[in-house]
Amino acid sequence: ERILRLAEMCRRLETEGEKVLPFYPSSLAEGELFDADRVLKEEPMEPLAQALQDYVGLERFWQRFNKARLEEQALARERAAVSHQNQRLRGLLQQYLEGLSVSPEVLSKPNPL
């Protein structure tokens, strides 16, 4: 119940694009989609499969959750790459500025220019 309430709250925060087309198209062929639908509609025989049948309604939630996690990881990697690039550029700028200025400290170091 708590997860469903959270999903309803998050639904209000979605953009129009996410509401209309929230997921990427399936990579399964038509025959594979048909087989998957047929298997999902069959009555499960194993006890574990019967218990999982109660949670089929949460499939969309887990798709959204996993998509959000993937985006979070991609953004974290991008942030790390940009941070590294920023540090490198700051170092180059510092070298350039040191090459332009004249002071005893700068003269004691090798000139980068």
Tens digit of pLDDT for each residue in 8-62?
Answer: 888 788 777 776 665 666 667 788 878 877 777 777 778 877 777 777 777 777 7
Domain count, the chain: 1
Query: Does residue 38 fall inside a structural domain?
Result: no
Query: Does residue 21 fall inside a structural domain?
Result: no
CA distance 42 to 25: 24
Higher-pLDDT residue of 112 and 62 is: 62
Tens digit of pLDDT for each residue in 52-106?
Answer: 777 777 777 777 788 889 999 999 999 999 999 999 999 999 988 877 777 777 6
Query: Does residue 88 fall inside a structural domain?
Result: yes
pTM, 2 dp: 0.54
| Contact present, 70 and 84 (Cβ < 8 Å) | no
Q: How far is CA 46 from the centre of its chain?
A: 35
Q: Distance of CA 92 to CAs 84, 87, 88, 96, Å?
A: 13, 9, 6, 6
Q: According to the model, what pLDDT value does residue 27 have?
A: 66
Tokens (6 digits) for 57: 């309604």
Query: Does residue 79 fall inside a structural domain?
Result: yes
Could you tell me which residues come within 8 angstroms of residue 34 by beta carbon, excluding any fewer than 6 positions away? none
Q: According to the model, what pLDDT value does residue 84 have?
A: 97
Show the domain range for 84: 70-95
